[in-house]
Every structure is written in C-alpha cells, then in structure tokens.
C-alpha cells in the first residue's frame, strides 16, 4: 500500500507536477518512511540538469545573486530549481519548512522552484539530503539547479560538493573573507565571485583572490615562497604578477581549469551575464575533459560510503539497545570490569564472524 502511494508520487513528479516535487523533497528532508524507495525510483531519471553550488559568508549577497541567475536562465527559456540549504539551523524533527517564496522577481513563476532545507543532527545527513533533493529536481526535469549555502565549514563544503560547479561568493573590503577561504573552500572553488563590486575595495579583493588561486594552482609558486633560492631561478612568472587576461594565449597541454574571478553587483544584475558565461565555460570544460563523469562517479562513491556509514551506525545502535544500552557498558568500563576495546570487540564479534564466514 505504502509502496503504491510512493510510486504514484514518483509518477506525478516525473509528469511535472510541482506539488509532487515539493512533497518528495519534504519526505527527503524529514527522512519519512518510504523516502528511500522514492529516491531509488527517481535515480534512473536523473543526469540531465547542470548543478551549481553557491557558498559564501553571511550577507555576501548569495540569495540576491541566485535570484538574478535564476531569472537569467528563465529568460533563456530554461527551467530552474533552487535549494537553499541552511546548515546552522537545527532540524526540528517533523516540522517542515514550507516552500519559501522569496524571489520577488520570480513569484508566480513556477518554473523557478524554490525550496529551503535545514540541517539535521546526524553527520553528513545534510549533504545526502541535498544530493537527494537535487535528484528530485533533476528527475522532475529542471534544466538548472542551484544550491545556495552559507558559510565555509565542513558541512557546507560537503553540501556544495554535490554540485558540478562550485561558486564562492566574496564581498569586498573584508580581508578576513579571503583569509577564511584558505580553510577548505579555496580548494573547491571553480569560480570566485566578488559581489558588491559597487563597494570600495572590490578590485583589491579580486587581486587577493587571483593571487591565492595562482599559489594554489602553481606548486612552483609555493616553492618560491618556501625557498628563495635555486628553484626560483627558472621561474618565468613570479607570483603576484599573474593576471587573468593573458591566459588566453597560453596553450595548455592538458585541459585544466583555472578558477576564474568574476565581479558582480547582484542588486542591479551587473556582471551576471559574465558569470553565466564563466559557468558555461566551466561546464564545457567538465564535459570535454571527462571530469563531469569522474565527478559523478566520485559523488556516487561518496553517497554509498555515507549511506553505509549511517546504516551501519543505526544497526550498531540497535545492537547496543538490544544489549541493554550503552550506559551499562559505560559503568562497567568505569568500574574497571571491562574496557572500551573489549566492549567493542564483544559487540562487533557477530558481525566480524559473519563477514569472515562469508569470505571462506
């Protein structure tokens, strides 16, 4: 019976019914019974959308930029789905956020489907839920999917990594922002956007970013930093002099992507067309270099690992409960009746035996 309801929901989603799409994402977000069957069913219908992840510090202008991007794509006749992921707000369990209708410029235009999702307690749960929601939008038939998430912690990195292209939004003037990028986000940014280019310090921020990208992509530049000696001699481009304009005439032996820096004023839409073009260039690069497929494989591997971890964890919790809960074990450890290694050995024994038997 439940199965039939789910299949019907999937069918309606595939038929392009927005209400079904919203319900599926709600089920994914709340991990309500049957959501796994739904995601399993829609999986075969995915793989058509291009997915952009946008991250950056609070108030950098992500939502404003996403609105403009969505509008741009809509004006080109493409359909758009937006998921705003908020890793900081704790999931309240059961209470589900309604679809946020935020985009003033796009209200009533259901081809821009907007949805917010909040964090769940368990580790990695949010990136899995995001990936599943992306699948729902993809299977529905959205051409463009945009994921917006605030911040630069591991959670956000994981969330944004579910995208094909990662955009990091920076606002000018705060050197802190650029410093913050060193912690993980710089490595995964394909396109850096200096938004609020109408404000002071934008060109300086652009220069700082380009410098960091240069150091990241040219190991020799790093060597120069370490030893001001022999290695630097053969280096024909000293760090700090790198400009983006002269890279067109450098033929590359392998297709490599050098992260681009784009300036925008999200409030007026200035620079959006350049951003769209850069995103398109990156997508072309991904497709032609084979990285698109490679990324898909890596994502699938990560999804499998994540699910295995959480499912094994659940089995272990159940096993612990069956054995009277962890408190008794803990007390026994404190009372020196046993120790954590021995407990672990004991609890896992049946599993280990089972796997070893199968190997024989």
By the criterion CB under 5 A, which residues form the site for Mg ion? 62-63
CB-wise, 199 or 348, nearer to ligand GTP? 199
Shortest Cβ 199–ligand GTP spacing (Å): 6
CB-wise, 57 or 258, nearer to ligand GTP? 57
Q: Which of 137, 150, 163, 168 binds ligand GTP (CB under 6 A)?
A: 150
Pairwise CA distance, residues 107 & 136, whole Å: 21
Residue 274 site contact among ligand GTP, Mg ion, none (CB < 5 to 8 Å, cut-off depends on kind): none
53 is an interface residue for ligand GTP by CB under 6 A: no
CB-wise, 129 or 169, nearer to ligand GTP? 169
Q: Mark the segment that binds ligand GTP (CB under 6 A) among 51-59, 107-115, 123-131, 311-319.
A: 51-59
- Kindly tell me the sign of the dihedral angle through the C-alpha atoms of 177, 147, 67, 71: positive
CB-wise, 56 or 124, nearer to ligand GTP? 56
275 is an interface residue for ligand GTP by CB under 6 A: no
CB neighbours of 213 closer than 8 A, spacing ≥ 6? 186, 192, 258, 259, 261
58 is an interface residue for ligand GTP by CB under 6 A: yes
69: phi then psi, degrees, rounded to nearest 5? -60, -45
Of 171, 166, 222, nearest to 198 by C-alpha is 171
**Sheet with strand 260-263: strands edge to edge:** 112-119, 80-90, 144-150, 50-56, 165-170, 191-194, 260-263
Q: Which of 47, 59, 175, 350 binds ligand GTP (CB under 6 A)?
A: 59
Place of tokens 């307690």: 121
Pairwise CA distance, residues 233 & 310, whole Å: 52
Residues 9-42: b if buried by 16+ CB within 10 A, e if exposed: bbebbbeeeeebbbbbbbbbbbbeeebebbbebb
Residue nearest to Mg ion (CB): 63
Residue 21 site contact among ligand GTP, Mg ion, none (CB < 5 to 8 Å, cut-off depends on kind): none
Place of tokens 């050995």: 345
Query: x/- contact string, 173-202, with ligand GTP (CB under 6 A)?
Result: ----------------------xx-xx---
Q: Mark the segment that binds ligand GTP (CB under 6 A) among 213-221, 260-268, 291-299, 301-309.
A: 260-268
CA 61 to chain centre: 18
Pairwise CA distance, residues 52 & 163, whole Å: 5
CB-wise, 82 or 186, nearer to ligand GTP? 82
Residue nearest to ligand GTP (CB): 61
Q: Which of 25, 38, 52, 62 binds ligand GTP (CB under 6 A)?
A: 62
Residues that bind ligand GTP (CB under 6 A): 56, 58-64, 150, 195-196, 198-199, 265-267
């Amino acid at each position: 019976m439940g199965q039939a309801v789910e299949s019907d929901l999937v069918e309606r989603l595939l038929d392009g019914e927005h209400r079904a799409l919203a319900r599926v994402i709600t089920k994914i977000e709340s991990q309500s019974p049957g959501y796994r069957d739904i995601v399993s069913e829609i999986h075969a219908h995915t793989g058509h959308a291009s997915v952009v992840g946008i991250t950056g510090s609070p108030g950098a202008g992500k939502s404003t930029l996403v609105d403009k991007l969505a509008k741009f794509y809509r004006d080109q006749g493409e359909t758009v789905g937006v998921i705003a992921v908020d890793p900081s707000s704790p999931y309240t369990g059961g209470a589900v956020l309604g679809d946020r209708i935020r985009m003033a410029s796009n209200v009533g235009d259901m081809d821009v489907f907007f949805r917010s999702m909040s964090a769940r307690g368990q580790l990695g749960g949010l990136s899995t839920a995001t990936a599943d929601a992306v699948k729902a939008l993809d299977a529905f038939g959205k051409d463009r999917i945009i994921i917006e998430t605030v911040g630069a912690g591991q959670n956000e990195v994981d969330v944004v990594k579910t995208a094909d292209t990662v955009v990091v939004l920076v606002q000018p003037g705060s050197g802190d922002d650029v410093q913050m990028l060193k912690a993980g986000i710089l490595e995964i940014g394909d396109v850096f956007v200096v938004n609020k280019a109408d404000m002071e310090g934008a060109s300086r921020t652009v220069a700082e970013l380009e410098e960091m990208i240069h150091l990241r992509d040219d190991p020799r530049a790093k060597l120069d930093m370490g030893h001001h000696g022999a290695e630097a001699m053969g280096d024909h481009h000293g760090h700090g002099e790198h400009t983006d304009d002269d890279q067109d005439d450098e033929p590359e032996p392998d297709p490599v992507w050098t992260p681009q820096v784009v300036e925008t004023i999200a409030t007026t839409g200035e620079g959006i067309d350049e951003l769209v073009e850069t995103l398109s260039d990156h997508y072309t690069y991904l497709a032609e270099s084979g990285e698109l497929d490679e990324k898909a494989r890596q994502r699938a591997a990560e999804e499998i690992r994540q699910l295995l971890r959480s499912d094994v964890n659940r089995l272990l919790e159940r096993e612990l409960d069956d054995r009277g809960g962890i408190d008794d074990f803990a007390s026994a450890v404190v009372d020196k009746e046993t120790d954590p290694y021995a407990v672990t050995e004991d609890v896992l024994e049946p599993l280990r035996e089972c796997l070893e038997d199968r190997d024989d």
